[in-house]
């Protein structure tokens, strides 16, 4: 009889949680997930990604709870007894962390502490491997390219809270021997990226403009440079980290960087529209090069109190030690997101919903 491993994913209803759950099910794992109770009050919103991926069919066992409730987390660990824990639950929007710094720390730092402390108090430290979702935002204004040796200079409550939990993970690893690895992941996106993240905001707006349902896309800093990969690739990297004999810290990135402006141009290009950029700073606009129609406008209200300008990852360590490499690069990623948002628009249109109510993004690619 083959031995079935059990994995617990906190934040399973988020972007990475859904891709990771699919990936682990494909590897034969029993998959459990932690979901906040209010996800059930509006399941369309809270559990929408899981539903659209067909994961509410009983293959995944969902548990109601909250990462900040350390007693509930301890009780869950006792029941599930996972061999692998993927701690993805977080307040993940950098701009929101400026508005809610205290709750950002409650979830992104104290939540991690509670999880690690529960493992120690339950004497489970020898039985489990933990993935901690660290972030390139911890590098903040450190010079690019950034790798595991780059000194951290976070520029937001989000980056600072993630850095504190990065150090907690290392402390519990060194002090108590917990097999916990930090994945320092650069931005990774997908067709199910939250719509308040800039990439998805762009692909949603561009496809809506193409379909005639919207006029102008308003954005903040067009000069921000990011290293964007695909969530599908990055969840595999998370899993690879937990298959190593020894825990460690790994950067996952594509090693290619693009501006927000380039993301917009690429998305429009895929819809057959060439954008011509005029002006600079808050006055910059993007026009349809053929018709002169206004497509993109800068909105200073969307600037962050302090922005991270240039994130570019060097994933050499993960390539060498894990054998990890991305399959999707910039243009493949934008194409996947644009194609899925086009499909979503047609599914959303009245009378065109497929009879099983499923969006096909999860099976593509
Ligand atoms: P996401 O889509 O925002 O998913 C985060 C999930 O965590 C959501 O389902 C959220 O549920 C849940 N959550 C929030 N607070 C919670 C709490 N107190 N208890 C239990 N669940 C809670 O983010 P993602 O893109 O999948 O990212 C996964 C992880 O990787 C996050 O920790 C993120 O910070 C980190 N990360 C992401 C990236 C990236 O580019 N995607 C890069 C580096 C690191 P609700 O819907 O109820 O809020």
Backbone φ/ψ region at 255: left (φ over 0), alpha (ψ -120 to 50), beta: left
- Confidence bin at 359 (pLDDT 50/70/90): very low
Q: Is the CB of 10 under 6 A from ligand 1?
A: yes
Residues 6+ apart with CB under 8 A from 350: none
Ligand 1 atom closest to the CA of 134, numbered from 1: 44
Would you give the distance in Å from CA 37 to the centre of its chain?
Answer: 21
Greater pLDDT, 146 or 213: 146
Condensed to tens digits (0 to 9), the pLDDT of residues 252-280 reads 999 999 999 999 999 999 999 999 999 99
What is the rounded distance in angstroms from the CA atom of residue 60 to the CA atom of residue 26?
12
State in Å: Cα 317 to ligand 1 middle.
Answer: 25
In the DSSP assignment, the letter for residue 116 is H
State in Å: Cα 280 to ligand 1 middle.
Answer: 34
Predicted confidence at residue 39, as pLDDT, reads: 82
Predicted confidence at residue 46, as pLDDT, reads: 83
Q: Is the model's pLDDT at 365 over the cut of 70?
A: no
State in Å: Cα 91 to ligand 1 middle.
Answer: 6
What is the rounded distance in angstroms from the CA atom of residue 225 to the CA atom of residue 311?
6
One fold for 6-189+228-252 and 198-225+258-306+330-349: no
In this structure, what token pair is assigned to residue 216?
Answer: 């102008």
- Confidence bin at 338 (pLDDT 50/70/90): very high
- Look at 54-58, 81-85, 345-349 and tell me which has the smallest mean pLDDT: 345-349
Q: Is the CB of 333 under 6 A from ligand 1?
A: no
What is the rounded distance in angstroms from the CA atom of residue 187 to the CA atom of residue 181?
18
Residue minimizing CA distance to atom 33 of ligand 1: 92
Whole-number Cα distances in Å, 208 to 214, 215, 216, 308, 338: 6, 8, 10, 29, 10
Report whether 288 contacts 320 (CB < 8 A): no
Report whether 34 contacts 69 (CB < 8 A): no
Predicted confidence at residue 171, as pLDDT, reads: 98
- Average pLDDT of span 244-258: 98
Ligand 1 atom closest to the CA of 108, numbered from 1: 32
60 closest CA partner among 16, 24, 86: 24
Q: Is the CB of 201 under 6 A from ligand 1?
A: no
What is the rounded distance in angstroms from the CA atom of residue 53 to the CA atom of residue 29?
17
Q: Is the CB of 87 under 6 A from ligand 1?
A: no
User: Which residues are designated catalytic?
Assistant: 137, 158
Q: Is the CB of 233 under 6 A from ligand 1?
A: no
- Average pLDDT of span 70-86: 97
Predicted confidence at residue 348, as pLDDT, reads: 66
- Average pLDDT of span 214-219: 92
- Average pLDDT of span 20-24: 98
Q: Is the CB of 39 under 6 A from ligand 1?
A: yes
Residue minimizing CA distance to atom 11 of ligand 1: 11
- Look at 91-100, 125-134, 314-323, 338-347 and tell me which has the smallest mean pLDDT: 338-347
Structural domain boundaries of the chain?
6-189+228-252, 198-225+258-306+330-349
Report whether 9 contacts 34 (CB < 8 A): yes
Predicted confidence at residue 362, as pLDDT, reads: 36
State in Å: Cα 355 to ligand 1 middle.
Answer: 30
Report whether 275 contacts 286 (CB < 8 A): yes
| Options 3.30.70.20, 3.90.25.10, 3.90.730.10, 3.40.50.300; CATH of 198-225+258-306+330-349 | 3.90.25.10
Average pLDDT of the chain to the nearest whole number: 93
Predicted confidence at residue 150, as pLDDT, reads: 98
Report whether 204 contacts 341 (CB < 8 A): yes
Name 7's bridge partners.
Answer: 31, 84
Class of domain 6-189+228-252: alpha beta
**Cβ neighbours around 284 below 10 Å, total:** 16
Predicted confidence at residue 40, as pLDDT, reads: 74
Name the strand (E) or helix (H) holding 313.
none
Q: Is the CB of 34 under 6 A from ligand 1?
A: yes
Report whether 104 contacts 151 (CB < 8 A): no
Ligand 1 atom closest to the CA of 158, numbered from 1: 34
Q: Is the model's pLDDT at 352 over the cut of 70?
A: no
């Amino acid at each position: 009889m083959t031995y079935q491993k059990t994995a617990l994913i906190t934040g399973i209803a988020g972007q990475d949680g859904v891709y990771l759950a699919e990936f682990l099910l494909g590897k034969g794992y029993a998959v459990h997930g932690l979901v906040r109770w209010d996800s059930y009050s509006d399941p369309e919103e809270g559990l929408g990604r899981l539903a659209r991926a067909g994961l509410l069919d009983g293959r995944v066992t969902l548990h109601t709870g909250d990462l900040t409730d350390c007693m509930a987390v301890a009780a869950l660990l006792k029941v599930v007894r996972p061999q692998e824990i993927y701690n993805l639950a977080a307040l993940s929007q950098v701009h929101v962390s400026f508005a809610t710094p205290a709750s950002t720390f409650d979830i992104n730092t104290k939540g991690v502490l509670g999880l690690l402390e529960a493992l120690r108090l339950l004497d489970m430290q020898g039985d489990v491997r933990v993935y901690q979702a660290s972030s390139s935002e911890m590098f903040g204004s450190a010079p690019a390219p950034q790798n595991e040796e780059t000194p951290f200079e976070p520029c937001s409550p989000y980056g600072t809270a993630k850095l504190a939990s990065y150090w907690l993970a290392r402390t519990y690893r060194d002090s108590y021997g917990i097999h916990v690895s930090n994945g320092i992941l650069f931005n990774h996106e997908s067709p199910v990226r939250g719509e308040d993240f800039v990439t998805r905001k762009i692909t949603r707006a561009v496809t809506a403009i193409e379909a005639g349902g919207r006029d102008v896309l308003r954005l903040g800093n067009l000069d921000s440079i990011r290293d964007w990969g695909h969530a599908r690739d990055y969840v595999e990297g998370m899993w690879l980290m937990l298959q190593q004999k020894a825990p460690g810290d790994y950067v996952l990135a594509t090693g290619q960087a693009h501006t927000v402006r380039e993301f917009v141009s690429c998305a429009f290009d895929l819809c057959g529209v060439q954008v011509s950029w005029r002006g600079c700073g808050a006055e910059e606009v993007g026009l349809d090069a053929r018709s002169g129609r206004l497509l993109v406008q800068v909105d200073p209200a969307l600037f962050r109190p302090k922005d991270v300008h240039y994130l570019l990852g060097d994933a050499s360590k993960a390539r060498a030690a894990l054998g990890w490499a991305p399959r999707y690069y910039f243009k493949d990623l934008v194409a996947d997101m644009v194609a899925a948002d086009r499909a979503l628009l047609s599914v959303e249109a009245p009378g065109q919903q497929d009879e099983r109510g499923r969006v096909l993004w999860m099976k593509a690619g």
